[in-house]
Each structure stands twice: as C-alpha cells, then as structure tokens.
A = this chain, B = another copy of it.
C-alpha cells in the first residue's frame, strides 16, 4: 500500500470508516462554513500541546464573561489537571476553589436556558434516550424540551465544576474525555468545547479510579502553561477557525446521510437514529489572511 498515492489509499479505506467521514465528504459542496468568532476562542497551552476552545456566551453568558476575565488575568497559569479519570473527565484549576475558599466570585447556575425566538436549531433526534429532542445550536450539541434548551455533555465539552450548591462554581473546569456522561446534563454549566487539540487533551495524565481520579503528586499532573484569548495573540501565533454551519442545508444533508446508511458496505442496516454526541462537526483551520502571502490570497 505504501506505493499507492494517498488519494487511492483513501478510496480503498473510505468504506472502513463506517462512512462517518464520507457522509461529510458527500455534502461538501453544499456546506457553508462560518468563521468561529475570535472573541470566543481560547488557546490553552499545556505540557502536551495546545488546545483551542470555543466559548458559548449564548448558553452561559455569566460563566463565559468570568472565564474570559480569568484568562486575561492569567489566573490559570501554572495550575494543573488535578483530577483526571480515563473515560470520564479531566478537571483543572485551583483545587481549593470548591472548598469555599475561592477568592473569585461564585457563578450563577447556567444549566439550561429559555431559548429566544431567534435561536437557531438543527434537529438531530427526537426521543433521544436522555431528552425529548437533540440538535445543534451554532455547532454545539444541545437538547431541549418544550420549555428549555441546554448544551449536552459530549466528548470535548468544557464545563464549570461545582460543589453541592448549584451556584458554587467559580474557576475550576473540566473537559469531557470519554463516552458522553449525559446524566450530568442540566446539572453543570457547559460553557465551551474543544475545537482543536482533542488529541492533546487525551494525552493528559490520568489519576487512579480508586483515588477518584485525584493525582496527589503535583509533579505528575499535566499542567496549564498559560491560557490566552485569541485577541491576546499576534497574527502569527493564532489560526482562523471555520466550522460547518450547523444551520445550513448542507449540514442537514450530513445528518440525513448519517441517519440513512445506504452504502452497500453495511451488512446490517443501522437503525435510523443519531446520537448527537457522535456527529462530528467539521472544523477547517487556516492562517489569518495577514499571514498569507498576497499572491496566494483568495480574490
């Protein structure tokens, strides 16, 4: 196989993906890409590499506001992932926080929201196991009932940790690193998601299940070197992120192709259902225009 050009290799392999990718490829022409608002981008450098997160002020305005301020204040520099459970979550921050000794304001619960009339919604599944309906809002996996909407605990989601009081979160956060713990939906404030570097997140050093994931040896922990908002970076330090517009007809086609697996590779036709956490939303990464030589820029 080494002798084949990559394009041919990809053709040979495409049916092995269970078409999770070819569905996306199929609808490529119809897809509309939206640029991720740089105001909502956070770059987190950890020992294992760089992770880029998109914040969601629509669902978590107060949490996003405080998190951005903390990032600007360099609050997270040197803090660590002190509680990491394989298949569950990687939790980071200032551990004393949740014992009531945080010097930062505690945050109101932003577990779900009454959706505005103008909120977009791309339906994925009715009668989902955990909610009456799931869907996408601005690229984020979400769920709703007749009254409220909430972001769902999918892999890569970033949320505030908290103590027993629903309003006790303030600075410590976690990233979901395993099968979606959907039972946590509406019990914690999801305020962002990883859009680049999830492989880096998966490299974070784990604790032991017997210790509830807590890594007592501070030196063994993965550490946050620094966190910065995109606006704090020079053009040559950052990238532009584009994401498939989940409100576009092209994305509806992606969903339908995943729901209706007609490829003859399938020996047993899967049920016509979708797990909202198992629908990838494609991301395109490009250098900012200022970093592209003038003759190569698109007209």
Interface residues of A (CB under 8 A from B): 1-2, 6, 9-10, 12-18, 20-21, 83, 85-88, 91, 95-96, 98-99, 109, 111-112, 125, 128-131, 154-156, 161-164, 166, 177-187, 198-199, 202-203, 206, 209, 211-214, 216, 218, 258, 261, 264-268, 270-271, 273, 275, 277-278, 280, 282
Q: Assess whether A18 is in contact with B187, with CB atoms less than 8 Å apart.
A: yes
Q: What copy number does this chain have within its complex?
A: 2
Binding site of A, secondary structure by majority: helix, strand, loop or mixed?
A: loop
* Contact call A185/B96, Cβ cutoff below 8 A: no
Which among A166, A179, A271, A278 has the highest number of chain B CB atoms within 10 Å? Answer: A179
Evaluate whether A183 and B261 lie within 8 angstroms (CB atoms) in the complex, with A13-B83, A211-B10 already known.
yes
Complex CA gap A265/B12 in Å reads 50
What distance in Å separates the Cβ of A256 from its nearest Cβ neighbour in chain B? 14
From A20, A181, A185, name the one whose CB has the most chain B CB atoms within 10 angstroms.
A20
B212 and A14 contacting across the interface, CB-CB below 8 Å: yes
Chain B residues in 8 Å Cβ range of A112: 268
Closest to A188 in B: B18
CB pair A216 B18 closer than 8 Å:
no
A218 contacts B179, CB within 8 Å? no
Bound CA–CA A262/B111 (angstroms): 19
> Which single residue of chain B is at the shortest CB-CB distance from A167?
B267
Chain B neighbourhood of A16, CB < 8 A? 83, 91, 98, 161-163
